[in-house]
Amino acid sequence: MHAHAITDTVSAIHANVETTARFEGIWPIPHGVTLNSYVVKGDKTALIDLAKDWAGSIDQFNEQLASVGTSFEKIDYLILNHLEPDHTAFLVELRKRNPRVEIISTPKGVAMVRNFFKIAEGLREVKTGDALDLGKGKTLEFFETPNIHWPETMMTFDREDGILFSCDGFGSYGSLGERVFDDEFTSEEHAFYERESLRYYANIVASFSAFVTKALDKLGSLPIKVIAPSHGIVWRKNPGEIVSRYAKYAAYNSGGAREKEICVIWGSMYGYTKQGLDAVIAGIEAEKVPYAIHQVPDTDASFVLADAFKASALVIAMPTYEYKMFPPMAHVLDLFERKHFVGKKALRIGSWGWVGGAKKEYEERIAGLKWDSVESVEWQGIPTAEDLATLTERGRELARLVKQE
């Protein structure tokens, strides 16, 4: 595999990571992910962002670095926009192979190089407004963009070519294969990567949406021609597409318009909660509001998060389990809390066996999320005809609220 030239002086190299291992040890990546880095050449050579040695990634990097006449041993500067180990775990080995490489990051990033990787020499701190002159007119500028995704994060800008190296920002799950540029993918492929970028955002970035909005404001005045993230597609034809997509995602978590749809999340031990849910869905369908539906724990929470994140309303259907919430739903709600899924409309329903209890734990769990809840419905065992009629009406009520937004 060869590197992909963005300009005469800048090339993208990427590793297609296809593995059964989970991203961050949590999130399934059935379609893989890419680790992208960038080689920038003046008189000196910089490598922007690194990788971890993962599913053959370093072999792929070696081959592509060689295709542009360089190697880990030859680079002069390593610019670390972000220290999470998907981009840095190879750092210790790189330092062994290339003791003279200067490692450049924000003050917090350099502190992490020292404290996390125990590397003490050859470090340079940069802040917003600082620049690195590579010679031959090639200068890289730095912009601190904290919390996209960790506090030390920055982005690097090549003003000459208008390339923004954004690391996690504007990234996506999904292996790319041999192609990297947005204009090389079909509309069907873009639809796939759009779903994977939403899932990536909901899983990885959502908690930090306020910082995404701040960064978009900060970077808005830059003459950006290319968005070069460290996961996923390199946007050279239509960078505005991924920027506006991220602005929309950030707004989902800060009161902006969500999609007029419902995400139904359900679990059922013996089918009685499911019977009640079917009545709710009949009500939603009668109001002709689109919905996605996920059963837990059968569907991994990663995918639930993506649909729940963009939806304006949620149905949470679960039985009481040992005086508390059905545990797989408790896990999902815990993630909603951690990812700050605020301001949803919600309907909770569920069956109980010998006594309830899910209600109390649920209400405690969502207290900080400021959800606008339709009156919940609970019943013992099999739902009665009256229960089912009420459930259908509650489904209609939730759907009408979505339509009124």
- Tell me, what DSSP letter sits at residue 203? I
Task: Return the DSSP state at 234.
Answer: B
DSSP line for 10-46: EEEEEEEE--SSPBTTTB--TT-EEEEEEEEESSSEE
Question: Which CB sits closer to ligand FEO, 86 or 378?
Answer: 86
Q: What's the closest the beta carbon of residue 101 comes to ligand FEO, in angstroms?
A: 21
Give the interface with ligand FEO as residue ranges (CB under 6 A): 82, 84, 86-87, 149, 168, 230-231
Instruction: Give the burial class of 340: count Cβ atoms within 10 A of its Cβ; 0-12 exposed, 13-18 middle, 19 or more buried.
Output: middle
Q: Extract the tokens encoding 127.
A: 């802040």
Among residues 84, 15, 75, which one has the least CA distance to residue 48?
75
**313, 346 contact by CB (below 8 A):** yes
Minimum CB distance to ligand FEO, residue 112 (Å): 12
Q: Which is nearer to ligand FEO, 49 or 259 (CB)?
A: 49
What is the closest distance, in whole angstroms, from the C-beta atom of residue 35 to ligand FEO in the complex? 8
CB of 180 to ligand FEO, least distance (A): 16
- Assess contact for 48 and 40: CB atoms under 8 A: yes
Residue nearest to ligand FEO (CB): 84
Backbone CA torsion sign across 292, 298, 302, 305? positive
Tokens, residue 301: 């929470």
Instruction: State which residue, 168 or 259, has the beta carbon closest to ligand FEO.
Output: 168
Q: Distance between CA atoms of 126 and 233, rounded to whole angstroms?
A: 27
Query: Cβ of residue 189: shortest distance to ligand FEO, in angstroms?
Result: 22
Q: Which lies closer to ligand FEO via its Cβ, residue 172 or residue 390? A: 172
CB-wise, 76 or 86, nearer to ligand FEO? 86
> Closest distance between ligand FEO and the C-beta of residue 36, in Å?
10
CB of 152 to ligand FEO, least distance (A): 10
Closest CB to ligand FEO among 89 and 282?
89
Question: Own/partner pairs for 269-272, CB < 8 Å, 24+ apart?
Answer: 269/319, 269/321, 269/326, 272/319, 272/351, 272/379, 272/381, 272/382, 272/383
Nearer to ligand FEO, 200 or 326 (CB): 200
Structural tokens at position 118: 């125990």
Instruction: Please say whether the beta carbons of 77 and 44 come within 8 A.
Output: yes
Q: Which is nearer to ligand FEO, 149 or 199 (CB)?
A: 149
Report the residue number, 50 or 126, with the smaller CB distance to ligand FEO. Answer: 50
Buried b (16+ CB within 10 A) or exposed e, 360-399: ebbeebbeeeebebbebbbbeeebeeebbebbbbbbbbbb
Answer for the pair 143, 117: CB distance below 8 angstroms, yes or no.
no
| Least distance between ligand FEO and beta carbon 230 (Å) | 6
To ligand FEO, the closest distance from the beta carbon of 204 in angstroms equals 6
Query: Which of the 8 DSSP states describes residue 207?
Result: G
Nearest distance in Å: CB 331, ligand FEO = 22
**SS3 call for 341:** coil
Q: In terms of CB distance, is 170 or 291 closer to ligand FEO? A: 170
